[in-house]
Amino acid sequence: MRRQLKILEHALTSLLRRKAKNLSLLMVYSFTIATLGSVLFLTHALKSEASDSLAAAPELVVQRLAAGRHELIPVAYAERIRTLPGVEKVTPRVWGYYYDALVKANFTLMGTAGEPGELELLAGRLPGAPDECAVGSGVAALFGAEIGDRLVLIDSHEQNRLYEITGLFTTASSLLTNDLILMPETTLREFFAMDADRATDLAVEIYNQREVNTLAKKIRFHLPDTRPITRSEILHTYTTIFNWRSGMMLAVTLAALIAFCILAWDKATGISSEEKREIGILKALGWETADVLAIKFWEGLAISLTAFLCGIVAAWLHVFVLGAPALVPILKGWSVIFPDFPLTGRVDLLQLLTLAFLTIVPYLACTLIPAWKTAVTDPEQVMRN
Amino acid sequence: MFRSRLFLGLTGCGFLLCVALLTYGQLRDGNLNGKRQLVKGLGLTDLALFSEARYTRHPSQADLFSAFQDYPAALEHFPSGSLIAPAPVGLNRWISIHDPNERRP
């Protein structure tokens, strides 16, 4: 133990002798790990948010397809599905999109039929009267609206409609409700000029979770123009999307990664004449090859471990404290309103260990192999060269 | 052996800081109950992350193959969306509106 401490002391002294070079390498190394870590942290946090929140999504959503596209579904289909054994409840959902030409943003309008009860993340109350609505924080921020203000929307007959804002969804829920405008179902039907016997889709609740796929098949059999979407398919969609987005972001940072690899390879394999002379002198003084390798191992570990720890802490702060300002523009795409969401700092330990393995081990190998080559050469020859 | 002890101490602190940050994140529930209540009560199916098009706002509810249906150059979640350029705007694509009383040269 004491011997290893002394070798470490020697390795650190050796690193400090080439301060500027090693410091610049440490900074580039930390930056690369912080970039990769940020991408992994952000996408994993979004995946976790999606899977945790949407675990309460309807077990089955039934859409109607016409000419290969989503079409309004007859409410009578709800009665047909309700008769299937195992179905607990079928709720027709009325929702749609609204493009506001003034602010050039898309909103999601949703109707509330029954009383969903008290909502923890809603300040104020849910709309009850026909001229009331509740809005998400993104909508409120865009119009500068507060509870009690009036929202002007243009309906499908090109008529201005005024709705009083009775509730505001808090920022904590903005990942789910940012662009949402909630109003009573009858009001929304009037707004969209939607017939009372039609709905956007049907939300189906099922008694036994293990029967979801069987019931989806039965619905397809009895109502062939429908498309049932199960909750597991919803969750799977989000996993796929974030894997793709994460892949895209990693591709963007690939250039920086390659540049770092070239730098690390050049630094580690191209052992300088000064370092070669140092190894030669140590060998001439009676040091074993194993001791020389131990020094190089500690040198490599000191740089790579410090860079890894600095990079991971920087990535965590960047994503979960600052809100990933460097990555959000890539995620944002063309959205006019993008949620200002606080992410829960969930990290996949396996991903972190993989990142550690893929960054620390190759660097150590790059440092040890040329040092070993030099250490096994005759000291006199090394010093002469 | 001042340097080696200092290095080990700092590395240990860094390691503990990493563990603390990661554990803190795992322990915070981030209003999970409130979010689930919202999803359950309102029957939500998607995250309000990308509101630029129907199939990005509700990817799980979108048509099965919905690329390019809103705007040809919109950022897609399909790889092809980033490869195929929008159709060029030629003269035959311009719409010019003239006043019926205006005399054309």
Is the pLDDT at A334 greater than 60, yes or no?
yes
- Do B25 and A347 count as a contact with CB atoms less than 8 A apart? yes
Task: Give per-residue pLDDT as tens, A127-175.
Answer: 988 899 999 999 999 999 899 999 999 988 888 999 999 999 998 888 8
User: What is the spatial distance between Cα A226 and Cα A384, in angstroms, rounded to a whole number?
Assistant: 82
User: What is the spatial distance between Cα A134 and Cα A169, in angstroms, rounded to a whole number?
Assistant: 7
Selecting from A12, A120, A241 the residue whose C-beta is nearest the C-beta of B3 gives A12
For residue B61, the chain A residue with the least C-alpha distance is A229
Question: CB count, 10 Å around CB of B22?
Answer: 19
Measure the CA angle with vertex B18, ends A48 and A171; round to 5°.
40
Task: Give per-residue pLDDT as tens, B20-76.
Answer: 888 887 777 768 888 898 998 888 999 888 887 888 888 888 876 555 455 544 555
The pairing of beta strand A132-135 with beta strand A87-93:
unpaired
Task: Give per-residue pLDDT as tens, A86-121.
Answer: 999 999 999 999 988 888 888 999 998 776 677 888
Task: Give per-residue pLDDT as tens, A182-236.
Answer: 999 999 999 999 999 999 999 999 999 899 999 999 999 999 999 999 999 888 8
ipTM: 0.79
- Do B4 and A344 count as a contact with CB atoms less than 8 A apart? no
Q: Does B33 touch chain A (CB under 8 A)?
A: yes
Indicate the length of chain A as a whole number: 385
Selecting from A9, A302, A349 the residue whose C-beta is nearest the C-beta of B1 gives A9
- Do B14 and A306 count as a contact with CB atoms less than 8 A apart? yes
Please state which of the ranges A150-154, A239-243, A268-272, A379-383 shows the lowest mean pLDDT.
A268-272
Contacts of B13 in chain A (CB under 8 A): none
- Do A173 and B34 count as a contact with CB atoms less than 8 A apart? yes
Task: Give per-residue pLDDT as tens, A240-252.
Answer: 877 766 676 777 6
The pLDDT of residue B72:
46
More confident residue, A73 or A338: A73
Task: Give per-residue pLDDT as tens, A47-76.
Answer: 888 888 899 999 999 999 888 788 999 999
For residue B37, the chain A residue with the least C-alpha distance is A119
For the entire predicted model, the pTM comes to 0.80
